[in-house]
Structures are given as C-alpha cells and as structure tokens.
Structure 1
Amino acid sequence: QTSAEDTRRIAGEMLNQGLELLIFVGGDGTARDIYDAVGLKMPVVAVPSGVKVFSAVFAFSARAAAEMVDAFIEGAHTAEEEVLDIDEKAFRENRLASTLYGYLLVPAVKRYLQGGKECSNISISAVESKKEIAAYIIEHMDKNALYLLGPGTTVKAIADAVKIPKTLLGVDALADGRLVGSDINEKGILSLSQEFEKKRIIVTPIGGNGFIFGRGSKQFTPEVIKQVGRENIIVVGTRDKLNKLEALRVDTGDFSLDQTLSGYTEVTVGYKETLKMEIRC
C-alpha cells in the first residue's frame, strides 16, 4: 500500500536523477502530490484515472497521453496547466467545489488536453434554459422505461421538475415519475436494469472539457452503456456551456466502445431546441 508521501518522494527522486519527462497515472490528488514534488522544474504527462479528474493538466485519455509523449519526444514546447484542489468535504456532501492549487508543465498540444472544470452557470437565463430542457425531456418520457440520471445541475433540473430528490454528483434512477434508485453504483444500475426492457441514460457534458462519460460519472461503466445502447443516450446542456466546447468527449476505458459512441449526436438545449455536436474519443 502506498501513500501520497510515497508519490511525492518518488517524484522527487526522479527529478533529482535528471529525468526529462515524468509520466504519472491518477486523479487530482495525485496531480497535487506531483506538483508538491516537482513544481515547474520538469514537464509531466498526466494519464487520467480515478473518480476526481477535473484538472486541466490531464490528457483526454491514455491514448491522448501517449500522443503527448510522442509530441514531447519530437520537440513540442511546454506550457503551464492548472492543478485543482477539490474540496473533499464538499464532494462527500454532494457538492463540487474547487480552488487553484498550482501549475504543472506539460507538452503544449491542446488537442490532447482536457479543459479544467468550470463552475455551473447560475444566471437567470441558464436557470430558465435548464427548466425548458427539463420540460421537453419530461414531455417525451416513456412511462415504461427506466431513466438513469447522471450528475450535473442540468440533469438535476429534470428531477426537480418531477419533484424527486436528485444527488448532484451521483446517478439516480427514475421510472414513471417515481424515484426507484438513489446514488446507485454499477451493481445497483445493472440489478435495476433487469426489471425494465426499455432503458435510457440522461447525461450533460462537464463544463470546460465536455466529457459525458469517463469523468465524474464512473457509475456508467462500459457494461452499463452497452446494455442501454448508444441510441438510448440522451444528452442535454445549455447553449452557453456548449458554445465553449470544441466537442463532447468520452473515455470509458473501453476504446472499442468509445469508438462506437463517437460521431455526431443531438443535444437538447431548450424546449424543442437541439444542437448537433460531435462526440470524440
């Protein structure tokens, strides 16, 4: 069993040995440990793994990280990217709060880097947009289907509209206007899915990086997504959030599934309003 101190010690030893590039696998906590050990003294490539992966220092996926290593070997310049400090107490209380912890040097190839997590927009227009999205989704719900509601304030607006409790960072299940599962994990989802022939997943992209699967929604495992099917995935989001994204992203850990999910999809952005957006892996 290793600790954060082990991570900092080993990274420090690598720095002292004069390594040109440090590659690490982990989440925001590991990124903070690496920052404590090396700061801006050596470049790194951060391979995403874990539940909390919101810092801009991370590559989109392990494959993207490999491309970043190649780019560094070929002489790519480096740039500073943010490392976030996620408030653990707030996270346990179903809130996402973060502050800037520091910066790490990474190969400057933006197309392989995820953006940092942006705070949810709470302006009046954003709130109204979420209400319109909720109204449209509810109007078209199949009372015989199981709806798996992913994390995020846009999805929570759907639960609020039908007056059921919704965990902001968890996955909850809805059927015929009733809550049938709260903060459920993969095992709970698969068990519940056996009771319904029709299944739907409703997700919203993470602001700043556009992930719909693979960041902040680990409960939607490849097995769960395959059971539901690409055609039964409903993506929702406000125009303000989507306008800041280059594309939607997936990194399920199953590259074959990621390729299946890739391509264009419609995103509900208001009442009877949709936008076409590309999903990339």
Structure 2
Amino acid sequence: MFKLGLIINPYAGIGGALALKGSDGAAVRQKALAMGAEQKAPKRAAEALELLAPLKDRIGIVTAAGDMGQRIAEQLGFETEVIYQPPEQTEAKDSQKLAELLMEQHVDLILFAGGDGTARNICDVVGETLPVLGIPAGCKIHSGVYTVTPKAAGKVVEKLVKGELLSLREADVMDIDEEQFRQGQVRARRFGEMRVPAELQYVQAVKMGGRESDELVLADIAAHVIESMNDELYIMGSGSTVASIMEELGLDNTLLGVDLVHNEELIGQDMTAEALLSAVKGKAAKLVITLIGGQGHLFGRGNQQLSPEVIRAVGRDHILVVATKTKLQALDGRPLIADTGDAELDKALSGPITVITGFHDQVIYPVASPGSE
C-alpha cells in the first residue's frame, strides 16, 4: 500500500481572480471571501487525485479533516486516515502541523496543493527529508516543486504507485513579497530546497564502453555516500557496489561478507549477526546495502548476517540502498525483495524506498515482501 500524505491549503489562490495579488494573510482571505471568491485549491487537488482513482486499492491517503484533504479523498473513494483537526479558518501553521504529523507517519510522499507560500511552509518543516510534490493552486507559482498542471501531479504519483523508476531531484522553493507585488515590484528569493520525483533521465557523461561507464557511476555513488558519512557506525553490506565505496575509502572489503566502519576506518570485518547486533544496538548506525542483480533481493540472499534484529536496530529510515540505474532497469519493473525470514519485518520494509544511483542522484523504487511482488 502506497502511503500518500495529502495537504490542501483551502485558501491558496483565493485572491487571484479578484486581482488581490495573492492570498497571504487572514485579512486578504477575509476580503476575498467577502467579495465572493471561490476556493479552487480543493478542486485542483481533485483533478490530480481523479487520475489515481483506478489505483485506489493500492493507495492509502493520510491527511487532515475537512477541506485540508479528507473531504476530497473520501469523495473519490480513497481509504483515508485523518490525523489532524484544523480550525475552520486554516493558517500557515496548520499546513506546517500537518506536515510534521505526516513525517511521523512515515508517508511515502507528501502531495500538497497550494502556492509558493504553502511550499515555503512545508519546506520549513520537511526540508529534504522526504519526497514532496506540489499541485499548482496558488496565485504565485515560482517554486520548482510544482508540476505544470494538477493532472501532471496525478501522473507522477501514478508512476510512483506502479513502481516505475523516477529520479529524485532537488528543487528550489521560491516566493515573492506580496506587499511589494501589489505595488508592482516583483522580488523573488530562494527559501530552501525540497526533493521532488521527476521523470527518469539517463545522461551519459562520456562516450565509452559499458564497463568504463559503470566504473564512473560506481565512483559517483561512492562519492555521494562518503560525503554524507558522519559520526555514526556504518554497516557495509556485501556486493560489488558496496565494495566500490570501500575501495574509495581505501579500506579492505569482504566482498561476500559484512564489514563495520566508523569515521571512515574499518573496525570490524566479515562480522557475524551476533557481533553486528552487539556493535550497533542502542547506537546511531546506518546500513549500506545493494541488491542482487537480476533477482532484486535486498535481504535474504547472501547476507544473512543482516538478521531481523540487526535490521530493526538500524531502522528502515537509516538503510542506504545503492545501485546503478542500469541494475534497477534490468529488473524490468519488478520490486526489490525483503526476505528477512521475519514476515512482520518484511512488511515494515515494504513500500517505496530511496535508492542512491549517483552523486546527488537518487530514485524512488518499490520494495515488496515475498509473495506480494
């Protein structure tokens, strides 16, 4: 089940048709409503969600009550979970509060309808921690987190739910000063970045044979992982992709085993499940793992040292999956498999996961438990 977080700013764009140059501020919204303004954001969100209706048995929507998401989701027949009760007159803080709660729910994607102000509010909370996608519904749409149309947002989410390979890219959150805009001055500035799913693009940096090209991609993956390393324990799984990271670190590697790294130094080699659990239990740790080419197994094939207890000690959010796009494409749409021997854990590991495919290049790919793929 794809867990979709939904945030609708009911008042986004309310002042546009009335030439109020935006909808920021309670006074502007009250004036717009008094002038007979129509709330268009819920309708724009519905346009996106209507495209997903054929997949509603595979999507669970987590949202707030009323016009912030519940009403539209239930009207379209989606399984809906309400986690926040907003006031009748919603403000920026309500979008932010819902975003916080959605992060705690570990949703796979936050889909939101609004304008640049809404994007700013969500960015303040979410940052680059999980993927988001904007449905354009405001007066000002300068930010790169929005699709070109509401239906385009629905198409991107559809691809994610179907498990198609999409890149994750960093997109700027921009906004302008509405008071100056009303005086004829447009001054936009950048307020941050969020990660958005985008159509997968294959870019060949140099013209050379597949082996040489693969080596360059592996070096890029290694550079990404090493750049993000901090004062945590790193469990380095088996396989050639992880081995390339160890090579870049200048460390000995157990190709068919599991090693332990701290502060870019090797502190454990070819470790057993028991030794790994003892080393990481109660400590900050991450697991770097790749998939078995052609089969797609993340766990349960050749890495039994990564026991259910070890995986739970690390936590799903701290698993770094690394793979080339070529390796993922070879799966022909089949999901990655979590076969840990613990059915409850396999279910918890299922769902879209971020895969590091290059330097600052990531994609979203589905994980399934045995028998569900």
TM range (shorter): 0.5 to 0.7
- For these two proteins, the number of residue pairs brought into alignment is 159
Structure 1 residue 127 displacement after superposition: 1.0
The separation in 2 between residues aligned to 1:185 and 1:125, in whole angstroms, is 34
SS in 1 for 2:271: coil
2:313 paired with 1:241: no
Letter of the structure 2 residue corresponding to residue 274 of structure 1: Q
**Which residue of 2 is the match for residue 179 of structure 1?**
266
The separation in 2 between residues aligned to 1:174 and 1:125, in whole angstroms, is 28
Equivalent of residue 213 in structure 1, options 294, 299, 302: 299
Residue deviations 1:102-143 (CA, integer Å, cap 9, x gap): xxxxxxxxxxxxxxxxxxx9711111111100001000011x
2:243 paired with 1:156: yes
Residue deviations 1:52-73 (CA, integer Å, cap 9, x gap): xxxxxxxxxxxxxxxxxxxxxx
Residue deviations 1:134-182 (CA, integer Å, cap 9, x gap): 001000011x200000001100111111100001000000000100100
Q: TM-score, normalised by structure 2?
A: 0.42
SS in 2 for 1:197: coil
2:362 paired with 1:274: yes
Alignment of 1:1-281 (within 5 A): 123-142=211-230, 144-194=231-281, 197-245=283-331, 246-281=334-369
Residue deviations 1:31-65 (CA, integer Å, cap 9, x gap): xxxxxxxxxxxxxxxxxxxxxxxxxxxxxxxxxxx
C-alpha distance 138-250 of structure 1, shift in aligned 2 (>3 A): same
The separation in 1 between residues aligned to 2:211 and 2:335, in whole angstroms, is 23
Residue deviations 1:75-98 (CA, integer Å, cap 9, x gap): xxxxxxxxxxxxxxxxxxxxxxxx
* Structure whose alpha-carbon radius of gyration is higher: 2
Letter of the structure 1 residue corresponding to residue 319 of structure 2: I
**Which residue of 2 is the match for residue 114 of structure 1?**
none
Structure 1 residue 192 displacement after superposition: 1.5
Structure 1 residue 247 displacement after superposition: 1.4
**Which residue of 1 is the match for residue 150 of structure 2?**
none
C-alpha distance 203-122 of structure 1, shift in aligned 2 (>3 A): farther
Structure 2: any 5+ residue segments left out of the alignment?
1-208
Structure 1 residue 190 displacement after superposition: 1.3
Q: TM-score, normalised by structure 1?
A: 0.55
CA RMSD of aligned residues (A): 1.4
Residue deviations 1:242-263 (CA, integer Å, cap 9, x gap): 0011211111010000000000
The separation in 1 between residues aligned to 2:255 and 2:217, in whole angstroms, is 18
The separation in 2 between residues aligned to 1:168 and 1:231, in whole angstroms, is 24
SS in 1 for 2:367: strand
Structure 1: any 5+ residue segments left out of the alignment?
1-120
Letter of the structure 1 residue corresponding to residue 318 of structure 2: N
Structure 1 residue 214 displacement after superposition: 0.7
Letter of the structure 1 residue corresponding to residue 233 of structure 2: L
Structure 1 residue 197 displacement after superposition: 2.0
Letter of the structure 1 residue corresponding to residue 272 of structure 2: N
SS in 2 for 1:240: helix
The separation in 2 between residues aligned to 1:185 and 1:170, in whole angstroms, is 9
Letter of the structure 2 residue corresponding to residue 253 of structure 1: G
SS in 2 for 1:133: helix
Instruction: Calculate percent identity across the aligned residue pairs.
Output: 38
Letter of the structure 1 residue corresponding to residue 356 of structure 2: T
